[in-house]
């Protein structure tokens, strides 16, 4: 994964973890709507982190494929 995408990925993952941890606390404090919103936000953060990781993987795979050495074809 490229260095430029490490920090945003970490932020999305940590935000998702924070929302997952905050949701039951909000629910126990008597705010079920806020707890549901926190879980929805955690879902969106999780999807964003998976999307970002997938895009970085595809970019890295494409870069590796462009300059790949084709020794196997010469044999």
**Mean pLDDT of the 34-50 span:** 96
Cα–Cα distance, 46 to 13 (Å, whole number): 6
**Mean pLDDT of the 24-41 span:** 97
pLDDT (0 to 100) of residue 73? 56
Instruction: Pick 16 or 4 by higher pLDDT.
Output: 16
41-44: long-range contacts, CB 8 A cutoff, minimum separation 24: 41/15, 42/15, 42/16, 42/17, 43/16
């Amino acid at each position: 994964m490229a260095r430029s995408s490490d920090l945003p990925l970490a932020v999305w993952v940590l935000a998702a973890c924070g929302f997952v941890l905050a949701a039951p606390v909000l629910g126990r404090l008597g705010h079920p709507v806020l707890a549901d919103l926190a879980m929805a936000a955690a879902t969106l953060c999780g999807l964003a982190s998976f999307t970002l990781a997938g895009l970085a993987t595809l970019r890295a795979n494409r870069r590796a494929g462009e300059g790949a050495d084709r020794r196997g074809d010469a044999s």
